[in-house]
Amino acid sequence: MVSTLPLISSIELPSGAKYEQPLGLFIDNEFVKPVSTAGKGEKLITVNPSTGKPITEVYCASEKDVDVAVKAANKAMETWKSVEPTVRVELLLKLADLVDEHTQTLAAIEALDSGKPLNSNAMADVESVASYLRYCAGWADKLHGKQIPISSTCMAITKRVPLIVGCIVPWNYPISMASWKFCPALAAGCTIVMKSSEITPLSLLYFAQLVKLAGFPPGVFNVLSGYGKDVGSAISRHPGLGKVAFTGSTLTGKKVMADAANSNLKSVSLECGGKSPLIVFEDADLKECAKWASFGVMYNTGQNCTANSRILVDEKIFDSFLKIFLGQLKKDWKLGNVFSESTTMGPVVSQQQYDRVQSYIKIGVEEGATLHQPLLDTTPSAGFYISPSVFTNVKEDMRIVKEEIFGPVVTISKFSTESEAVKKANDTIYGLAAMIFTTNFERANRVADQVEAGSIYLNSSNNEDVRVPFGGMKMSGIGRELGEEAFNLYTVSKSIYYNYGSKL
């Protein structure tokens, strides 16, 4: 039976405004229907997490569609690799301008599809895409190799060679996390096959048409909506790709790495889970610390891999900090309509995520921890809203302390010495981020050196910048996104020897 689903559909936003939403797969600069049906059917239903009701359906890719997209990316690379870097600069800057022009629509799509508050969250996500495009445009014509003298009659040079890249992006930052991959990849001269999350496919499809409008050639940027077990696995295994970049859970990251190894040993970068500690020493500014700690764990409804979901507080100031922190939560966060200017916290992204987070809250209570929910009375009952939840009287072996919950849930425990704080901070399989609050500069640097995490925030939390490398240690991942180091992920070094006079 032939599907009647169109390739583009008009969608009405809660504001009453309408926009045209692409629904097809974006391959070779065109929205197309799948070549065959995927294992779960040929359509994906995407749901508004604020209401629990469907928004629309999009076409669902299969392994065969991955093959079509990879072939398009390979064909495009034949000419794209020879395009002058200055042309890439111009295209990236044009794309950034288009993102600026479409920021309101992209942000509204993010709010609708992923449950982000429009003004306090979704707008910032989209604005960061334009900012990163411009940053990477500045690098596109400055990715130089090296000249290495060997002898008076011989030298070598190195060149950076772009790769054909598969990207797998998560649902918590649909357009922003995608940009962490496509911005440096496009600047480096790569061609891309990108898989969006099956939970939040809409904004990346809308963005794809801006790539075409900016003037990027067919096949350079391709977007597939689909399930991880079908599309994600096919990307990880595909021999036509030289690189796979993944952001998501540690469990899935391990599968991506295994698939890449078992196929063609393609390069792999992983940005996975976290259980980031925030250490509060007795000399910290508690009011400022509470503000940062509140932001660092509750922003994006706690669906953030660097969320400071474990707070460790010096026992001498524990009671004072807890009182200030609980008060800060009530001040900072208002749950409600994500299109309202006053809303600062939306729902979690799906029914599955709602059930998962609620199960951990139940587990915490059953394990004997004390639950504080200062906003419970104002939490909407419809949709996938969860009240900010704080656990005290926790033990280090509790599941709520050890396992990544990925929701508005935080544990707060005590320490008595600096060495105990460091030991507790490092007692995790993860190593993505850590936060340290102290006014003692010597202690700040000493503890920062001892804590095992890829990003350390001193007297702040989650205020990363696109100019600074980002990535994890231990089970939190491999490789560094952002900053100059990001370009190492999307190029491989080629060495060329110049022999100009010596004879064998």
Place of tokens 């359509």: 43
**CA 433/CA 276 separation, integer angstroms:** 5
First to last CA, the chain: 70
Tell me how far apart the alpha carbons of residues 496 and 504 are, in angstroms, rounded to a whole number: 18
The single-letter code of the amino acid at 303 is Q
Distances (CA, A) of 294 to 14, 278, 391: 29, 11, 14
3-class SS of residue 73: helix
**H/E stretch holding 150:** strand 147-151
Cα–Cα distance measured from residue 319 to residue 328, given in angstroms and rounded to the nearest whole number: 14
Report the distance separating Cα 45 and Cα 47, nearest Å.
6
Angstrom distance (rounded) from CA 142 to CA 145: 9
Phi, psi of 3 (to 5 degrees): -70, 145
Sequence-separated (6 or more) residues with CB below 8 Å from residue 447:
279, 418, 421, 422, 436, 438
Distance CA 416, CA 314 (A): 6
Among residues 271, 404, 452, 464, the one annotated as catalytic is 271
| Order of strands across the sheet that contains 409-415 | 370-372, 389-392, 409-415, 310-314, 277-280, 433-437, 455-458
In this structure, the chain runs to a length of: 504
Q: Can 420 be counted among the known catalytic residues?
A: no
Give the span between the Cα atoms of 353 and 358, in whole angstroms. 8
Residue 393 and residue 403 in contact, taking contact as beta carbons nearer than 8 Å? no
- Separation CA 405–CA 354 (nearest Å): 11
Name every residue whose Cβ is closer than 8 Å to that of residue 319 and which is 6 or more positions away in sequence: none
Neighbours of 331 (CB within 10 A): 12
For 113, the enclosing helix (H) or strand (E) is helix 103-114
CA distance 1 to 42: 11
DSSP 490: S
Beta bridge partners of 314: 415
Q: Which residues contact 301 (CB under 8 A, 6 or more apart)?
A: 115, 345, 346, 347, 348, 386, 407, 408
Instruction: Give the tokens for residue 225.
Output: 């909506």
Residues 6+ apart with CB under 8 A from 441: none
So which residues are the catalytic ones? 271
